[in-house]
Amino acid sequence: MTHSEAEPQPQASTYPVDPEQVEELARLVQQDRLLTEAMGGLFPEGQTLPEGGRLLDLACGPGGWTCEVAFQFPHVEVIGVDINPSIVEYATTSARSRGLSNVQFLVMDVRQPLAFPDASFDLINARLLFSFMSPDAWPRLLAECRRLLKPGGVIRLTESEWGLTTSPAVERYFSLMAAALKRAGQSFSPDGRHIGITPVLPRLLRRAGFSDVRLRGNAVDWSSDAPLHYASFKDMFVGFELIKPFLLKTGVISREELDQLYQQAIAEAQADDFCAVWTWLTVWGQKPNASA
């Protein structure tokens, strides 16, 4: 058997931003902290980890959430996987600098079968996979998660539709990003007006065989006078800048118009009367204790 027959071939990354950019790494580190704070902690829905349990964090990025779980649950083994080797190297270095011996990071593409035995984990977590996942990739990933979870184990997914603002330019930017994801085949939206992942996520879990599927909504206020305005503003507009090549590549806007829109969005988001909420949805379910 040849190598190509024995193992699935790696796919090119479909992440819309170049993850090798220092600005993107810094943005992801800050976004990770922002999300955890705004959500009310690591497991605000009330999930628990058994003594000696194992947790898998999918597309873990710089590993902030993963490391924090390892820190707060020192008797749990935590594994984070990500497609980008430099991001995994950063996460590994970060864990070592904190003296965390119960966490490791591995290079894996979550769109492919994962190199773990059946029933390896008590909990599988992922946040904001919408940016690179195609609709047909979701059922395959969830089937893989069901294989990897122990009976009674929990899958926990957090996804976003970005949110709503009072800025015409910011709203236009959001709509362009949604349209670009639709053109790239990475959207559940029927018309490209939204990302479309949140309404289908509970059904995806049920169809993958998970039971007791529940959901919890969250929102952060990033209006001009809100405590988290600056952190959210910085995350959003660094992202707006870095995603420009993706918007131009998909042809949803011209370069001249995009540069003008970006400047207008910055100005409007810093105005005294700017109001905004960023929303996301956490959906979780359990692998049945008995085989179906």
Q: Where are the domains of the chain?
A: 13-286
Percentage of the chain exceeding pLDDT 70: 95
Tokens of 247: 């918007």
- Which pLDDT value is given to residue 8? 45
Strand pairing category for 276-286 and 149-160: antiparallel
Confidence of residue 292 (pLDDT cuts 50, 70, 90): very low
Confidence of residue 206 (pLDDT cuts 50, 70, 90): very high
- Which pLDDT value is given to residue 4? 34
129: DSSP letter = G
Residue with tokens 């236009």: 172
Mean pLDDT, range 225-230, rounded to an integer: 96
Confidence of residue 64 (pLDDT cuts 50, 70, 90): very high
Mean pLDDT of all residues in the chain?
93
Measured CA to CA, the distance from residue 41 to residue 43 in angstroms comes to 6
- Which pLDDT value is given to residue 264? 98
Question: Is pLDDT at 224 greater than 50 in this prediction?
Answer: yes
- Which pLDDT value is given to residue 11? 66
Mean pLDDT, range 106-120, rounded to an integer: 97
Residue with the larger pLDDT of the pair 267 and 8 = 267
Q: By the 8 A CB rule, do 56 and 76 touch?
A: no
- Which pLDDT value is given to residue 16? 87
Confidence of residue 275 (pLDDT cuts 50, 70, 90): very high
DSSP string, 193-261: SS--HHHHHHHHHHHTT-EEEEEEEEEEE--TTSTTHHHHHHHHHHHHHHTHHHHHHHTSS-HHHHHHH
Q: By C-alpha distance, which of 89, 66, 87 is closest to 15?
A: 87
- Which pLDDT value is given to residue 27? 94
**pLDDT tens digits, residue range 117-153?**
999 999 999 999 999 999 999 999 999 999 999 999 9
- Which pLDDT value is given to residue 5? 34
Measured CA to CA in angstroms, residue 142 lies from 58, 127, 132 at distances of 11, 14, 15
Measured CA to CA, the distance from residue 180 to residue 173 in angstroms comes to 11
Question: Is pLDDT at 50 greater than 70 in this prediction?
Answer: yes
| Burial class of residue 131 (count of CB atoms within 10 Å of its CB; 0-12, 13-18, 19+) | buried
Tokens of 285: 């379910």
DSSP string, 108-128: --TTS--SS-TT-EEEEEEE-
Mean pLDDT, range 91-102, rounded to an integer: 97
Mean pLDDT, range 211-230, rounded to an integer: 96
Q: Check if CATH label 3.40.50.150 holds for domain 13-286.
A: yes
Mean pLDDT, range 71-90, rounded to an integer: 96
pTM: 0.93
Half-sphere exposure of 70 (CA within 13 A, CB side): 24
- Which pLDDT value is given to residue 13? 80
Measured CA to CA, the distance from residue 292 to residue 286 in angstroms comes to 13
Q: By the 8 A CB rule, do 143 and 238 touch?
A: no
